[in-house]
Structure 1
Amino acid sequence: MPSAHQPFDAAQDLADAPRAPGPRQRPKDAATLILVRSGRHPQVLMGRRAPGHVFMASKWVFPGGRIDRSDFSAASATEPSAATRARLETELAPHRARALCLTAVRETFEETGLILGRPAPPASVAGPWREFRAAGALADLAALDYVARAITPPGRTRRFDARFFMADAAALLAPEPTAGSGELDEIAWLPLEAARALDLPSITRFVLTEVAERLTHKGRPIPFVRMVRGTHQVTHD
């Protein structure tokens, strides 16, 4: 697959992930979802992290978080598209690739109240998927496009191997967010240019630019941001 290299400055987002003494932390799998209202003036859903957070406090981000054990067994209305599945499965076992798609949907629901899903009879399940299923929905994984990957550098107190997904807001069961879990103290649909003007972690700014490009150029290679031999690099596959 084609590959390109360029320097990447991750200073801003790493400022909120201080160095950790002792053994290096292994990155934990995580997923992020960029919801887009397409049209002449596209908008993206973003939230501002509450000031009390020890990680990226007060910064604007896309909803997302760590994979949970429940994501490996959660039911869904659809499966990931062939393109998304094939790309993820070059990096992950199939069951873990599917689980990360579910992570993106679950975390978005928990943080914003938005359901990327299809109507289904309400069901009683235990664990983190309880409220989602009680709302009468199953996750719509076919709505997800895999668009970017980033790994926090070594030596940080929090390290994530994050996959970024993108989905059209038309797939949401309801168009407006709620307060969610409270992790985000403000949630808003923002025009792309307005979003760029916010206080963003640099990786969020990078992915926001990638989203803008994908709205006009389909089939772009997926960027992978990581540290290689002490230098931040971006490769495209």
Structure 2
Amino acid sequence: MAAIDDLPEVPTKDASTVILVRDSASGPEVFLLRRVIGMAFAGGMTVFPGGGVDPQDADADVAWSGPPVSWWAERFGVDEGRAKALVCAAVRETFEECGVLLAGPTADTVVADTSGYADARRRLEARELSFSEFLARENLVLRADLLRPWSNWITPVGETRRYDTRFFVAAAPAGQVADGETSEAEEVSWQTPAEAIADWSKGHTMLLPPTWSQLCSIAEFDTVAGVLAAEPEIPVILPKLYEEDGELRVRFPNQEPYYAAGAHPWGKR
């Protein structure tokens, strides 16, 4: 087993990813998207909704309900400006990518139907409208209390695009429909973590280690309430690329089951 030496260290960009969960007869289900093949980052991979922090996320002047920015800064180990940007990006990206909006008319309500915001969603994705402008125009309060911090993964050194990604969990709001009406997804689905991992094991989908690891962690819970009540430690996980038998792999915590199932998404060198 040989480490990969002298790989270029591309700077990271902050990103937010939201694991949407809902209860089912088989336990919690998660919402997954298969990204369009050919995208610059994680093309063809099955992922949770999310994306890079936009510069406007840090400056967003929004009505806010839930733990203060200082609480999020402490949980994620960042300053308050980055914490605010990460939470705003989490809510914005979830709305853009699957139409689920963690916001409401008041501090203790949530939008029941987002279909009336379809044009705004399109404009947000095209960066023709800022998230703060959208919330202000619709008199909506950002519901930070509906999110929970979950984990922190950084793209390995050696990749040409690198993200410092904070993962959140959130229960899908009652009445709202998660969809695939985004230019970034080929298909979407609700699955239990066990179903998603089984599909990947059969070669039907591709899961990068962070997605696989979050599925494994959600699989430990019997209900959405249990997921939301958890208070996981959030260490910074920075996987490392290495080469084994001419094949490029990535080293990360508890990786053995991932490779035991035959996962080799990085290919041959």
TM-score w.r.t. structure 1 length? Answer: 0.75
1:86 aligns with 2:74: yes
Q: Residues 77 and 117 of structure 1 are in contact (CA less than 8 Å); yes or no, is this contact kept in structure 2? A: no
What do residues 80-134 of structure 1 show as CA deviations (whole Å, max 9, x unaligned)? 367644312xx210121121011111111111111111126999x9733255655
1:232 aligns with 2:251: yes
Corresponding residue for 1:104? 90
Corresponding residue for 2:179? 178
Unaligned 5+ runs, structure 1 = 1-18
* Mean CA deviation greater in 174-183 or 139-148: 174-183
Larger gyration radius, structure 1 or structure 2: 2
Corresponding residue for 1:167? 170
Aligned residue for 1:178, secondary structure, equals coil
Corresponding residue for 2:265? none
What do residues 173-201 of structure 1 show as CA deviations (whole Å, max 9, x unaligned)? x4212343321121222222222224222
- The change in CA–CA distance for 1:233 and 1:178 in structure 2 (over 3 A counts) is closer
The two structures, once aligned, show a CA RMSD in angstroms of 3.3
Task: Quote the sequence identity (%).
Answer: 31
Q: CA deviation at 1:66?
A: 0.8
Corresponding residue for 1:128? 130
**Within 2, Cα distance between the matches of 1:162 and 1:43?**
22
Unaligned 5+ runs, structure 2 = 112-116, 243-249, 255-269
Q: Residues 158 and 241 of structure 2 are in contact (CA less than 8 Å); yes or no, is this contact kept in structure 1? A: no
Aligned residue for 1:207, secondary structure, equals helix
What do residues 124-169 of structure 1 show as CA deviations (whole Å, max 9, x unaligned)? x973325565565332111111111111111210001100000111
TM-score w.r.t. structure 2 length? Answer: 0.67
Matches within 5 A, 1:1-237: 24-38=9-23, 40=25, 41-74=27-60, 75-80=62-67, 84-88=72-76, 91-119=77-105, 127-129=129-131, 130-131=133-134, 137-170=140-173, 174-196=175-197, 197-198=199-200, 199=205, 200-213=207-220, 216=226, 218-227=230-239, 232-234=251-253
Corresponding residue for 1:10? none
